[in-house]
Amino acid sequence: MSKYFSETVENARAHYAKMSDEAVAEKFSGNGFIAFISVEDRTYYVNTRIDGLAQLVMMEIAPGIHCTPESRSLVGDYVLKINESFKSCAIHIEENGTLYIKAEQRFDDGPVSTYSFHVMEMECIKILDAFEKVLDKLAGLRLITPEEADVEKVYDEHMKKIFNALRDKLLNDDHDEDDDLNEKIKKELEEGLEKELEEEIAAEFDKIFGKAENESDEDESKEKKPRRNRFLPRRKHHGGDESALPEKNDFESIVSADSEEDEN
């Protein structure tokens, strides 16, 4: 058993303790947690496992999408494109058609921090949030548009939409207590310096997903900084693993130039 196992479990317990009692439960085995996160019109189901022998944290999040037997090869083809574009967070389809995303974090050289559990969760949900509407369509054998068939375009347009919404919110917030900060934010937005707003936007993402992080300085001093390169969804430059996916099908056959957008 890894010497960091117990500390990783305690950090996971601290993370999930911030949820309401009705939304989370610890497994009887003591090596994981089950939780659900409600975000607007969707509920995400979280299954976190902590393997002391493998020295690995495995987090699986399901968005409540079920693929029919007829649609699994088409969904699998699209999922492969998504997995080729991001690192560590990978979408899978179970044998019964349940779709979920999985992230992993090792603790062989140090415990996984409470903050790392939070970031893993947020990054998984961010990817699902970008693609779940298209995946819903494919899972129900509905036609998608050429724009929806382009994974990078779907993700970029989704993140642009979120950034614009957060930008408008930040600009409309009352900064009377610090007019200099207000002017600074406006100037940066006008110049398109998105990186300078990273902290403000990250905080707003936390509010959107109902998971604001409130760790004290004392907690942070006890935990290692998250090893972000292990699970942040950055673009890949090589192919993904097809072993967990159904047999590929002719994906282009379901793409229709005349397909209508979702009603909502």
pLDDT in tens, 93-144: 999 999 999 999 999 999 999 999 999 999 999 999 999 999 999 999 999 9
Q: Which burial class, exposed, middle or buried, applies to 102 when counting CB atoms under 10 A from its CB (0-12, 13-18, 19+)?
A: middle
pLDDT exceeds 70 at position 182: no
pTM, two decimal places: 0.68
Our CA dihedral for 210, 85, 55, 226, rounded to 10 degrees, sits at -50
* DSSP H or E run through 40: none
What is the pLDDT at residue 127? 93
Tokens of 181: 């900060």
Q: Count Cβ atoms below 10 Å from residue 203 Cβ, excluding itself.
A: 13
> Which of 181, 137, 134 is closest to 157 using CA atoms?
134
- Burial tier of 19 (Cβ tally within 10 Å: 0-12, 13-18, 19+): middle
Residue 83 has pLDDT above 90, yes or no: yes
